[in-house]
Amino acid sequence: IWEDSQQAMVDAGYTRTAPLIEPEKPH
């Protein structure tokens, strides 16, 4: 599921829609 992958990446510190976000920011 896309949302599941999105959540996983958000937990990693970035989102699929914002790959430029800093890894220190959980959202």
Q: Encode the chain (27 residues) as per-residue pLDDT tens digits.
A: 567 777 777 777 655 555 565 666 555
What pLDDT score does 10 carry? 73
Burial state string for 1-27 with b = 16 or more CB within 10 A and e = fewer than 16:
eeeeeeeebbeeebbeeeeeeeeeeee
Q: How far is CA 20 from the centre of its chain?
A: 10
What pLDDT score does 4 carry? 76
What pLDDT score does 15 carry? 53
Write down the pTM of the prediction: 0.29
What pLDDT score does 6 carry? 72
